[in-house]
């Protein structure tokens, strides 16, 4: 089963290369992603599974896939995101759509591999594999400044992952049984300075991917210039790779170094949260606003992770899923507006509620989730995260708390400008609503409120991860 979730998207990607007709390519991609969702649900609702064969005998590296709670929740997120993205953007017409879809499927293969790999070399392999199709997607189909900006993004993450590679070599050479398995890495004999070095090497890779201030500069540009479907993948799923890396590798492998560095990293994250929130307030472009708001949310999650507190980690685990769903919803709304009006600038928008009430209601729903109002899923996670920050240091919690107010300012400002006010010329020209996108949005909004009111399934799913991290 675990192998099939890697191979189905891979096979889909290969098949898609040969389907030249746009409509049929679309149907094939959606069909395959639905099958993947089915398989993912099966994995989520069955017991922890592993798949293990020898990969490189000389290096003693194994092709080991493991699905514990942490992996399951992210597989679920990935598997939900892809069909949602494909259906919502089905009407977009990039040139050579079959290749576009094929590259998206390759990305999904890489992502699934990252979340399942239990062997460091395999993890690195998929980590890079997820990046390369995205490079081509953004560079071929992106906005005007796509080539330079995507290249910046690529080099940034590539350098980060090379640092991680050195970290892997360092750990591998110090394991007693010369193996890349995460269990052997945990028992590697490292001096405290070696542990700190390895911690830094891994951390750089994850910090660039998340991204944490001051390594975030690639992100808003990349989000803005990428084609919308790719932006959705990037912000809903790919940034989770960084957080996943911290949860799966960084904290369990280097507990002492993580404790030492925690104050520094929490402070950096909180600075990033405030910084991104202030910038978000000044944005006029909806895409950039969502991008900065996403940086703020991820920063909060990283801060909560490094408090190394059970409650905070619980919050992050739930928020991994919730943030993906919320940001996906916001992107889809923004995409529908951009497709129909041809603009993303809030100056030119207004009066959406009068012209298209359903879309406006959906926008407001996701906006509430973005501010983490009670009853929405984000509230659960953020409440737990702030709780842990407060236990860590009340002053830090107070500083981070300001971001809630800032989030309300920029999000509600956006709602006000887009949904209310005088009906603008461009909104007036909007034609019939995009039925596909609205259907997807409604489903996502149901998930938002369901997990907001009853988050227990998310907690149950990740209970084993939490236990591994905190019960020694």
Partner 1 sequence: MNAIIFSAFFGVVMMFCSWGIKSAGAQKNITLFGLLVLILANLAQMNGWWVIDFDTKGMLAFNRFGLYTNTILFGLTFIYIWINGEEIEKIGNHAADFYALFFFILCGVSVLTSFDNLLMLFIGIEILSIPLYILTGADKKNLLSNEASLKYFLMGSFSTGILLLGITFIYGATGSFHLATPILNTTTGLPREQFLLAGGLILLFAALNFKVSAAPFHFWTPDVYDGAPTVFTSFMATIVKAAAFIAFFIVFESQSKALGYTWNIILPFVIVATLLVGNITAVFQRSVKRMLAYSSIAQAGFMLFALYGKSNFATEGLLLYAVVYSLATIGVFGVLVKMKEYSFDAFNGLAKAHPLLAFTTTIFLCSLAGIPITGGFFAKYYMLNALYVAGAGLWLLITAIIFAAISVYYYFKLIQAMYFTPGVPALQEVSNAYQYKLVFIAILLLVLGILPSVLFNYLYF
Point out which residues bind partner 1 (CB under 8 A): 55-59, 121, 124-125, 128-129, 132, 136, 139-140, 146-147, 151, 154-155, 158-159, 162-163, 165-166, 169-170, 172-173, 197
Q: Which residues pair with 67 in a beta bridge?
A: 49
CB of 241 to partner 1, least distance (A): 15
CB of 199 to partner 1, least distance (A): 13
CB of 139 to partner 1, least distance (A): 5
Phi, psi torsion values for 344, nearest 5 degrees: -115, 0
Q: How many CB atoms lie within 10 A of CB 60?
A: 18
For partner 1, the closer of residues 173 and 431 by Cβ is 173
List of residues 6+ apart from 36 with CB closer than 8 A? 5, 8, 9, 79, 82, 108
Torsion of CA 105, 110, 114, 118, to 10 degrees: 110
For partner 1, the closer of residues 162 and 399 by Cβ is 162
CB of 208 to partner 1, least distance (A): 12
Listing DSSP states for 69-89 in one string gives HHHHHHHHHHHHHHHHHHHHT
CB of 181 to partner 1, least distance (A): 17
Segment (H or E) for 52:
strand 49-56
For partner 1, the closer of residues 118 and 351 by Cβ is 118
Length of the chain: 472
For partner 1, the closer of residues 139 and 307 by Cβ is 139
Q: Which two tokens stand for residue 49?
A: 């599974």
- If DSSP codes are grouped into helix, strand and coil, which group holds residue 212? coil
For partner 1, the closer of residues 66 and 109 by Cβ is 109
For partner 1, the closer of residues 36 and 137 by Cβ is 137
For partner 1, the closer of residues 18 and 450 by Cβ is 18
CB of 173 to partner 1, least distance (A): 6
Distance, CA of 427 to CA of 420 (rounded, Å) = 11
The 3-state secondary structure of 248-288 reads: HHHHHHCHHHHHHHHHHHHHHHHHHHHHHHHHHHCCCEHHH
- If DSSP codes are grouped into helix, strand and coil, which group holds residue 53? strand
Task: Please answer whether residues 115 and 78 qualify as being in contact, where contact means their C-beta atoms are separated by less than 8 angstroms.
Answer: yes
CB of 148 to partner 1, least distance (A): 10
For partner 1, the closer of residues 51 and 449 by Cβ is 51
CB of 218 to partner 1, least distance (A): 14
């Amino acid at each position: 089963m675990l192998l099939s979730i890697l191979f189905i998207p891979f096979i889909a990607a290969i098949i898609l290369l040969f389907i030249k007709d746009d409509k049929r390519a679309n149907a094939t991609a959606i069909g395959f992603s639905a099958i993947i969702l089915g398989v993912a649900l099966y994995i989520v609702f069955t017991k922890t599974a592993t798949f293990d064969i020898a990969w490189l005998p000389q290096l003693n590296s194994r092709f080991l896939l493991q699905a514990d709670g942490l992996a399951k929740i992210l597989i679920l997120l990935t598997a939900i995101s892809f069909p949602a993205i494909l259906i919502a953007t089905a009407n977009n017409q990039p040139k050579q759509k079959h290749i576009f879809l094929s590259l998206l499927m390759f990305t999904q293969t890489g992502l699934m591999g990252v979340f399942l790999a239990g062997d460091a070399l395999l993890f690195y392999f998929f980590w890079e594999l997820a990046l390369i199709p995205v490079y081509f997607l953004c560079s071929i189909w992106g906005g005007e400044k796509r080539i330079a900006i995507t290249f910046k993004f690529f080099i940034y993450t590539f350098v980060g992952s090379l640092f991680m590679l050195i970290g892997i070599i360092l750990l591998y050479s110090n394991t007693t049984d010369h193996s890349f398995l995460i269990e052997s890495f945990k028992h590697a004999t490292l001096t405290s300075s070696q542990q700190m070095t390895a911690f830094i090497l891994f951390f750089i890779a994850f910090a660039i991917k998340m991204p944490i201030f001051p390594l975030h500069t690639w992100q808003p540009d990349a989000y803005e210039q990428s084609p919308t479907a790719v932006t959705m993948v990037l912000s809903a799923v790919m940034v989770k790779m960084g957080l996943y890396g911290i949860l799966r590798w960084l904290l369990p492998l280097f507990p002492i170094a993580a404790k030492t560095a925690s104050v520094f990293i929490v402070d950096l994250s909180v600075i990033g949260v405030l910084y991104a929130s202030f910038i978000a307030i000044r944005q006029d472009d909806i895409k950039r606003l969502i991008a900065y708001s996403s940086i703020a949310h991820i920063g909060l999650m990283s801060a909560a992770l490094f408090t190394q507190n059970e409650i905070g980690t619980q919050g992050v685990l739930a928020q991994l899923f919730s943030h993906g769903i919320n940001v996906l919803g916001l992107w889809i709304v923004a995409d529908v507006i951009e497709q129909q009006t041809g603009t993303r600038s809030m100056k030119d928008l207004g009066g959406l509620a009068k012209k298209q009430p359903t879309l406006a209601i959906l926008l407001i729903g996701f906006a509430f989730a973005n501010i983490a109002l009670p009853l929405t899923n984000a509230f659960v996670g953020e409440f737990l995260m702030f709780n842990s920050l407060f236990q860590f240091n009340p002053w830090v919690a107070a500083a981070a708390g300001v971001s809630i107010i800032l989030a309300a300012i920029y999000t509600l400002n956006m709602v006000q400008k887009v949904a209310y006010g005088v009906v603008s010329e461009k909104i007036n020209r909007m034609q019939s609503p995009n039925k596909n996108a609205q259907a997807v949005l409604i489903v996502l909004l149901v998930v938002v409120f369901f997990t907001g009111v009853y988050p227990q399934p998310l907690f149950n799913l990740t209970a084993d991860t939490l236990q591994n991290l905190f019960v020694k």
